[in-house]
A and B are shown apart, each in its own frame.
Chain A
């Protein structure tokens, strides 16, 4: 549904009133490439309130509350350390396995959470979307922020454990690349959001995708250097593996904090380009799907 500023169309109707007045024009087709950032900005309070709602509602009547944010990645890391480190004996670039897996888990979890939650945008909010209008992108953006809070908690735990290892283990060497962290996070958020929006747009037509998502995320994790370093792959596979836009980000993250890994600026730039494409495609498809999704869900 398009919003236009005053000035086009029939004169008597659009005759200006004192103050700002906005005119809403509803038409069958809107330009899917148009992203109304000003309108989104007007709803920033809603984004914040939704983040608060997610956080508060998630832990009402639970015993451990937000501690779950810490327990979950710690248990995952512990399991990875035992299964892939001790039993399968996968290499970890000479790093302590626990730290290696934790770095991967923390950043991967952020991506996986944003992606999974975004794919459910239409399915989970159908009752709200069917009753009231607001820019639909508000919902995935709120998800992005609320998962960022979870990430921050996990990241703090990671930093604590890193501090211990940095003192006791010479192989662990955090370096100045950590300054790139915000960029890496933004890339992860953008892949999760963009990919999630693409899938969300298709779920309005194909319900099958809902089932595929959690399964797909798991498969994608094995295709990403989370439980193994990129360097452990045969040379000719390394190139193909780093075409996965998440791979260079994870490797850069690990290199920055642990001092070991494959940091490739060229691959990061290529990855950034792919990320922009995914995000744009996601927004366009989402804009198209949102206009009539209530008729099909």
Chain B
């Protein structure tokens, strides 16, 4: 196995159910007041019988996940809804902290969980390239250098100084993907972003991803679309209930996943 660039050790992420988002100051004040007077909680938390033990009232989106990814690998992550795929990418992208465990990553991480995050409709394509590049971690000087390549890749040179709100969704997508593809991070993380865009552009993106991997970069992506993207992957894992249910070649992973899905359906009948 090549030199590991991502090491995930015993990673778990817990989400509480019910109580999330139901907080208002009044409820908490009432709760404190009741506790002071020794009365039972007037507004019991939904589903959280034992909030201390972290059981019953929530979901382990990831549970004791261990994984190592080597440099230059293209890892495809598949699995049913709620298996923890997006949560895994969110933890790796440092959007939310894990509940337990540890991740170590070597090199710059570029993550594209959504296409065009931070694009402002009133700003022009050019302004948005700079802004989006900076959000993804690029310096202005870096964008200066890559501007031509980005615009050429996105095929949007004619509308570069038009506000993005006038763009078609395909144009916005191309521009956004172009920025992210030129970030040149050592680790690139995608979530389902190729689902949009026409076939020709999808192929272009896949070529770009292949190029990135050949130059020693590591690519992780989540997909539901069992299409051409899968042919790229040098390795595939199946996530189920927050754990790695299968780890091997992409073809075997797909077979395993489809086998499980069929098996699951049979059981419910």
A residues lining the B interface (CB < 8 Å): 1, 9, 13-15, 17, 21-30, 43, 45-46, 48-50, 52-53, 56-57, 60-61, 127-134, 205-209, 291-292, 294-297
Contact = CB atoms under 8 A, between A and B. Distances in A.
Given A57-B120, A132-B93, A133-B94, A24 B104 contact: yes
Interface in B5-23: 7, 15, 20-21, 23
Interface in B94-142: 94-109, 111, 113-114, 117-118, 120, 122-123, 127, 130-131, 134-140
A28 B97 contact: yes
A60 B162 CA distance: 13
Contacts of A28: 97-101
Contacts of B90: 294
B57 interface: no
Interface stretch (B24-32, B36-44, B227-235): B24-32
B197 interface: no
Given A26-B94, A28-B98, A206-B25, 14 more contacts: A25-B104, A26-B97, A28-B99, A30-B97, A49-B130, A53-B120, A53-B127, A57-B122, A60-B163, A132-B118, A134-B135, A208-B24, A295-B20, A296-B20
Nearest to B105: A24
Contact of B123 (A43, A57, A128): A57
A22 B108 contact: yes
Given A56-B123, A129-B95, A132-B95, A25 B102 contact: yes
Contacts of B123: 53, 56-57
Interface residues of B, number: 51
Contacts, number: 127
A219 B178 CA distance: 49
A133 B134 CA distance: 11
B206 interface: no
A136 to B, nearest CB: 10
B101 to A, nearest CB: 7
A137 to B, nearest CB: 14
A43 B134 contact: yes
Contacts of A46: 131, 134-135
B97 A292 contact: yes
B120 A292 contact: no
Interface in B56-81: none
Nearest to A202: B25
A115 to B, nearest CB: 19
Nearest to B4: A13
